[in-house]
Amino acid sequence: IWWLDPELTYGNAKPFVFTQGHSVCNRSFFPCFDTPAVKCTYSATVKAPAGVQVLMSATQSTYLEEEGVYQFYMEYPVPAYLVALVAGDLIHADIGPRSRVWAEPCLLPTAISKLSGMVERWLTAAESLYGPYIWGRYDIVFLPPSFPIVAMENPCLTFIISSILESDEFLIIDVIHEVAHSWFGNAVTNATWEEMWLSEGLATYAQRRITTETYGAAFTCLETAFRLDALHRQMKLLGEDNPVSKLQVKLEPGVNPSNLMNLFTYEKGYCFVYYLSQLCGDPRHFDSFLRAYIEKYKFTSVVAQDLLDSFLNFFPELKEQCVESKAGLEFERWLNATGPPLAEPDLSQGSSLTRPVEMLFKLWTTEPLDSAAAASSVDLTKWRTFQTVLFLDRLLDGSPLPHEVIKKLSECYSSQLDSMNAEIRIRWLQIVVRNDYYPDLYKVRRFLENQMSRMYTIPLYEDLCTGTLKSFALEIFYQTQNQLHPNLRKTIQQILSQGLNPLPAIDTTAVTTDTPAMVLEDKVSEATNGAISLRDVNVSA
């Protein structure tokens, strides 16, 4: 349960509270069987002060104004982690026949402009693929930047971090992913957190089928290329034999399942589901199977064998061909082998969008550098966001770059990137930090002074503390810590404390003498060190 003082909201007007149950946190909210294997209906009575709007992930709600009491009822069985509550200075607007958006008053116009009419379009596309939307309403609430992840698929009421509103393409993908969860994850749920890919891999596949139907194959292939790049980046960080790269991960006693939430859950899971769809020959045949799968198992929890047995029974000709035992692509190997996906999708339909990225990256990284040719070859302001972040991610992978290259990159692009969305800006600033490019460091300070969300602060602090700029990071943190949620503040303190001598030895010469004292953790716990960093990517539950 996250309690926020008014200062941690956008409007600074009223306190705010929200819950985040995924994956095993709702045991601190109410007594429950906190496992996805158990589903039930629920009802709730919530009393709140006048002027505080309360919402829950429920199909029915009433408000008794004279008593200040809200009553909620979820008529369909859900696992405990999908029970969610939010309360604060929230107002709403309808954006479709079965959808409305909730946000703080200062944010509502932006939310309306970005989503009006869009959600119904996505729901209709999903229904054409996977059958009726069974939850009644699909509402969205935008939460303050303290929300610890990007989005959460609470039934009837998707939670999304407000920070993503400025990044249109990321907003589209994140909402469509949560829409897909209405079928895969919410209606049919993984029975154990060791098989989280049953929710995330299938939802990612469905998300890309929906985007293909609504935005075309090229856009879907571009977004997929961006995510698979991130998967391979994480693979290099972790090593190919790391057990967390399995689709069926073994949960040791005492390990929080959220620590196992990584890109393999999403993208390796997606690749397996895509491979199954390719075995059918036509993705529409696989859509038909998924509709039957949803109809058979809705409101229940399943294991991987349920999905695979249903698949082979739906396609008896594939069963006769023993596709589950095809050498090198055995279903069992997909589930239990470490390392990258055994097969990846053909993304050639996105080449009109990905080829310019590859060409520009090559121009900037081929020696000797012809900066004039590189600068004149592409106008980044005309690119899609996913093209720009794919380009910047590849520059990040190649950092540190030669000084001449980073200097010319800054001259060509820095002022253009200043006016772009935060997903683009943070990547450029990470390039600045990883290359110790001091002329643009003031932009890093300005960015961190205006960001309160985990997804736009942690990656920069990690990079600052990996290199030679830890004292610069300390100075910014001293000045901004009071605007951060205590949980985020503690995480950044842990990053700052790694590898430090006792506190007096810290170089604080740039910090003013009236700076409030900051408590640094002695060491990051082994559990924290053991968690998987989700740097460079945004992950939606």
Pairing assessment for the beta strands 99-103 and 139-143 based on DSSP bridges: parallel
Asked if residue 503 has pLDDT above 50, the reply is: no
Angle at 389 between CA 388 and CA 393, to 5 degrees: 120
CA dist 444 and 446 (Å) reads 5
Q: Which residue has the higher pLDDT, 518 or 406?
A: 406
| Local confidence band at 499 (pLDDT 50, 70, 90 cut-offs) | low
449-470 confidence digits (pLDDT tens): 999 999 999 999 999 999 889 9
Q: Looking at residue 535, what is its pLDDT?
A: 31
Long-range contacts of range 207-210, CB-CB < 8 Å, 24 or more positions apart?
Answer: 207/173, 207/176, 207/177, 207/179, 207/180, 208/270, 209/129, 209/283, 209/287, 210/122, 210/125, 210/126, 210/129, 210/176, 210/179, 210/180
> What kind and span of H or E run contains 25?
none
Proportion of the chain above pLDDT 70, given as a percent: 92
Please report the pLDDT score of residue 522 as a whole number: 31
Name the 3-class secondary structure at 142. Answer: strand
For the residues of 167-182, what is the DSSP string, one character each? Answer: -HHHHHHHHHHHHHHT
The residue with tokens 């993208």 is 267
Using an 8 Å Cβ cutoff, are 119 and 96 in contact?
Answer: yes
475 catalytic? Reply is no
Whether 151 contacts 204, CB under 8 Å: no
Tell me how crowded residue 462 is: count the other CB atoms within 10 A of its CB: 18
Is position 177 annotated in a ligand binding site?
Answer: yes
Q: Which of the four pLDDT bands, split at 50, 70 and 90, describes residue 524?
A: very low
Could you tell me whether strands 53-56 and 85-88 are parallel, antiparallel, or unpaired per DSSP bridges?
antiparallel
Distance of alpha carbon 48 from alpha carbon 70, whole angstroms: 8
Instruction: Give every CB contact of residue 287 below 8 A, 6+ residues apart in sequence.
Output: 129, 130, 209
Q: What is the pLDDT of residues 244-274, one digit of tens each?
A: 999 999 998 888 898 888 999 999 999 999 9
Asked whether residue 232 is marked as a ligand-binding residue, the answer is no
pLDDT interval class at 514 (50, 70, 90): very low
pLDDT of 498: 87
Write the CB contacts of 148 (distance below 8 Å, at least 6 apart in sequence). 2, 20, 454, 487
Q: For 149-163, how does the pLDDT look when each residue is reduced to its tens digit (9 = 90+)?
A: 999 999 999 999 999
Mean pLDDT of the chain: 91
Percent of the chain as helix, strand, coil, to the nearest 5:
55, 15, 35
**Mean pLDDT over residues 336-344, rounded?**
98
pLDDT reported for residue 508: 30
The answer to whether residue 286 scores a pLDDT higher than 50 is yes
Which one is catalytic: 178, 195, 423, 475? 178
- Strands 85-88 and 16-18 turn out to be antiparallel
| Backbone phi and psi for residue 281, each to the nearest 5 degrees, phi listed first | 90, -40
pLDDT at 371: 82
Two tokens at 312? 């082979």
Active site residue 266: yes
36-63 pLDDT per residue, tens: 999 999 999 999 999 999 999 999 999 9
Is residue 202 pLDDT above 70, yes or no?
A: yes
**92-150 residue pLDDT tens:** 999 999 999 999 999 999 999 999 999 999 999 999 999 999 999 999 999 999 999 99
Write down the catalytic residue from 10, 42, 205, 266: 266
What is the share, in percent, of the chain residues with pLDDT greater than 90? 88
At residue 530, does pLDDT exceed 80? Answer: no
pLDDT value at 538 more than 60: no
List the domains of the chain with CATH numbers: 2-182 (3.30.2010.30), 190-203+210-251+259-336 (1.10.390.10), 348-497 (1.25.40.320)
Whether 285 has a binding-site annotation, put simply, is: no
* Tokens (6 digits) for 349: 């339909």
pLDDT at 500: 56
List CB contacts of 163: < 8 A, sequence separation 6 or more. 145, 422, 451, 453, 455, 456
